[in-house]
A and B are shown apart, each in its own frame.
Chain A
Amino acid sequence: MNAREEILDRIRSALRDAPAVPDVPRDYRRSSTLGEEELIELLTDRLVDYKANVFIEEAAAVPQRLAVLLEGAGRYAIPHGLDQALFAEADARDGGSRRVTDAPGHRLSVEELDRVDAVVTGSAVAVAETGTIVLDASPDQGRRVISLVPDRHICIVRARDITAILPEALRRLDGTRPQTWISGPSATSDIELERVEGVHGPRTLDVVIVRG
């Protein structure tokens, strides 16, 4: 008998008392009623608690905000699906010379990503209660690697993508897409439980929440 058959056989044998399959009581909260302002406020509170930097902007002010955030950076990466118009202000200052784009057929290597100072991505959905932003590798978020290797991640969250609680967020996601759930910059508490922000993942997380 091969290992697969043998293990399945052992498990069936272990279950020969035919234990009942219980109904799962889903009496926990599965929806909520918070309005947009409350959601923004709650998400901001959580992200700040994780030591992320949060900027709340009207849509029209986002290019200006990105230009300011990118001021100190050298080269920065973006995924090909991110709206180029977001960088109009930044381009006005440097002509777009610092920007590199990860696109199908023109992939940035790990070494190239290691040499950029920042990455700007969109996001799929956010959970206010836990301060979580989910990336699902859509074209405006890019491959998982691009938001991982650069030391600074600037992440754009649309207010309409903010949910209050996790069950609401999961209903908006396709589980089979590669996902990264991000709740603050990378962190460790492994030495005497003292929290240190910034280990292997991006050490700085800037979140731009876009109203409307």
Chain B
Amino acid sequence: MSGTFLGMPSLPVFGIGNLHEHEPFPKAARRELGNTQLRANLGHATRTIRDKRLAVVSELPDWEELREAGRAIKESVMARLPELLEQFEANFTARGGTIHWARDAGEANAIVASLIREQGADEVVKVKSMATQEIGLNEYLEEQGIAAFETDLAELIVQLDHDKPSHILVPAIHKNRSQVRDIFLREMEGVDPELTNEPARLAAAARAHLRRKFLSAKVAVSGANFALADSGTLAVVESEGNGRMCLTLPETLITVMGVEKLLPAWEDLEVFMQLLPRSSTGERMNPYTSLWTGVTPDDGPQNVHLVLLDNGRSAALADEMGRSALHCIRCSACMNVCPVYERTGGHAYGSTYPGPIGAILSPLLTGITAEENNSLPYASSLCGACYDACPVKINIPDILVHLRGEDVDSKRGKRGKRGRERLPSQMDLGMKAASWALSSGKNLGLVEKALPLGRIAAGPDKKITKLPGIAAGWTQSRDIPAPPAQSFRQWWDKEHRAPAAPTDPTGTGDAGTGNAGTGSAGTEENP
């Protein structure tokens, strides 16, 4: 049976490419928050899509049943992945398609470039695809002297402006209509100089600009939303018709797809094609979905290729706690409900995959120690809205917490200078001290004897405004109230273990409102 692993377990091999946060998230977020245009556009966009999504989701009486089926199907795909990949390969190949396997971004890019060159082409039309953005295909092709034309309107805007997408569904959401007009006037050859900023006029300009490209293109590059193992069928979901143009008109079609996109069978599509459009654009159905199975004689591309991409997916799969991040169908619902994403926007996450899913997927694909990706799991308040919105029920908050643990573990005892003995970090020491203090009541009692010291540190205004060492991060934006004069345990001992009957008639009244309810944060005086 192909599903059983009998060889030596190998170390995870992580992905490369556009998957990295290049500076710590808080720093990137602070900069992005200063962009008022971005914040206004994002606030409007996320609110609008959120409302639309809620409306169309509430129409379906069986939404939760669909989510549950989606979750189970994806979980079963991951458990059976080797077998399903082989089945898909056999079917796709039997219908005239060619499969290529790419271990990482570099290998995928090289395969695509050589397939394009085989056709003697020096330009390609492209359908919006997260996978090709992840591997940096456009940049690579440009270096190779091949021009790649993005045909999705938003991707076209971003590409013409030499910018980066900020949202996986509406990549140009950070630009308003006047900015788009200015970009078109500046970068689009032969554009009407009288172009106004009406979206309909701008869309018409994009149609005119790309039409000749579509009708003459020899090679198209696409991603895929789904691949069906039992038939070898690929699916692309879109709105504008640029996908249909790319998938139908050129003689050669090259699709790049992550290995995790498989679905076992045709009937599984009935689940995902209900979940995806409603979660994504908040529509009952997207305007166009194209399905193709290898080559159809006399209809569409006759030279059909698929590049199956690992690029860290196998490493993510090896993480038992994190592997369900691979269930993601790239709908972007988690972004639109995320209070962090709504304010910082996609650029703050650095990676191709922003928002809550990006905060787990990027470090899972690259490893937690790659560049600044260890800052991404903290880009969340753990409110859980993403989990509720996710159509395949990925427990994003749990994985965020798991990855924070990975981050801490990766730093443990690694602060020593090269050549010297490893020094335990402040965090290690703090954790050791806490572990000793919390291991027995006696130890904790000893620590609690130091409470009055904290009261001295707090001073007359009863606030500690600056802690030393790594604890300084905590007091950067908060004050700590002075600790109480006695701990709850000390109070309890006095009240309940005292052998003599209470002599103070007001004692019981105070006990009811004492520090028990507010814990050590209470500042009121006990008698």
Contacts and interface: CB of A to CB of B under 8 A. Distances in A.
B500 interface: no
B241 A202 contact: yes
A12 B153 contact: no
Contacts of A18: 3-4
A179 B277 CA distance: 17
16 contacts: A7-B103, A13-B318, A15-B317, A19-B75, A21-B80, A22-B75, A144-B300, A148-B244, A175-B291, A176-B95, A181-B289, A183-B288, A189-B170, A191-B153, A191-B202, A199-B239
Contacts of A41: none
A192 B82 contact: no
Interface in B1-25: 2-5, 7, 9-10, 12-13
A93 interface: no
A37 interface: no
Chain A facing B: main interface SS: loop
B490 interface: no
Interface stretch (B61-69, B187-195, B377-385, B408-416): B61-69
A68 interface: no
Nearest to B152: A190
A26 B272 CA distance: 12
Interface of A: 2-4, 6-30, 46, 50, 104, 107, 110-111, 114, 127, 129-132, 137, 143-145, 148-149, 166-167, 170-171, 175-194, 196, 198-202
A104 B231 CA distance: 26
A179 B296 CA distance: 11
A3 B170 contact: no
Interface in B140-196: 151-154, 157, 170-173, 176-177, 180
B374 interface: no
How extensive is the interface on chain B, given as a class? Answer: 35 or more
A181 B292 CA distance: 12
Contact of A192 (B199, B315, B323): B199
B315 A196 contact: no
B464 interface: no
A4 B90 CA distance: 13
A197 to B, nearest CB: 9
Nearest to B308: A7
B38 to A, nearest CB: 13
Contacts of A114: 215
B240 A199 contact: yes
Contacts of A50: 287
B210 interface: yes
Given A21-B80, A170-B270, A187-B239, A7 B62 contact: no
B481 to A, nearest CB: 45
Contacts of A24: 69, 72-73, 76
B369 interface: no
B49 interface: yes
Contacts of A148: 241, 244-245, 248-249
A26 B284 CA distance: 20
B203 interface: yes
A29 to B, nearest CB: 5
A110 B244 CA distance: 14
